[in-house]
Structure 1
Amino acid sequence: MNKLPPQEELETLNVEYRQLDEQIDTHKRDKIKLNTYLSDWQRINQEEQELLNRILSLSEGANAATHAGQALDDRELFANHSRSAMEECIEEFEQTEKKLTTQLTEVEEEIQVQKKAVHDYAKD
């Protein structure tokens, strides 16, 4: 027959079991904290790398901006010349349009005169 351990021994094992269980829970919590810290560290490390890349890009960009500023000045000068040329073209177009409208009106009037003459001639 199986002999049961004495009550004292059971209580001692039960206490040891609870202590081990608490240690396991503590270990699990510590592991979760450690994983959180590791994740935070990786995120911070990645953000730091992105910032360093951005700083490098900005320093390269500052140099490019100097050249771009000159290019913008050149572009503005070109735009002013282009605007003037465009305004001249628009003015010329408007003048041509007026001339053509006047000529069209004259032709339409002449057509009306010719129609009236033909109509009057046909009456007689």
Structure 2
Amino acid sequence: MSPWARQSQGRNAHRAFYADYITSAKWYSRRARWALEESTRIAPALILCRGRCGNAWNVDRDDLHHCVYDRLGDEAHEDLWPMCRSCHTRLHELLDSSRSWRKLPKRQANRQALAILAGRNEPPSPRSLTVYL
């Protein structure tokens, strides 16, 4: 089996595990615990979307983005970022726009993509990502 085929199998296995986990009671419990921890940490401020909008984040309505998958199922608080659905979708669209993002460590790729979405950088073209990442 080629390295590419093994890598693809690994991604498919990860996606299957993620799909099961993200709909599980364990994940919903983790989301609620994260929201409580974050609310306590920043009180009396509101939890804000880390995306471009900066709107107030709500555990019942919005998403928690995994900035790394190393501890999927046993996430550290800092592994999860509050994001509204719209900003979360945009972040994944950007990260999925080029394979070059995969060349970076996941946390770094997420931070750079988030900076682009927040308007702190001009969005690179897929070609420039291939060349520079």
TM-score, structure 1 as length reference: 0.23
Q: Which has the higher strand share?
A: 2
TM-score, structure 2 as length reference: 0.22
Q: Which has the higher helix share?
A: 1
Higher relative CO (CA 8 A, sep ≥ 6), structure 1 or 2?
A: 2
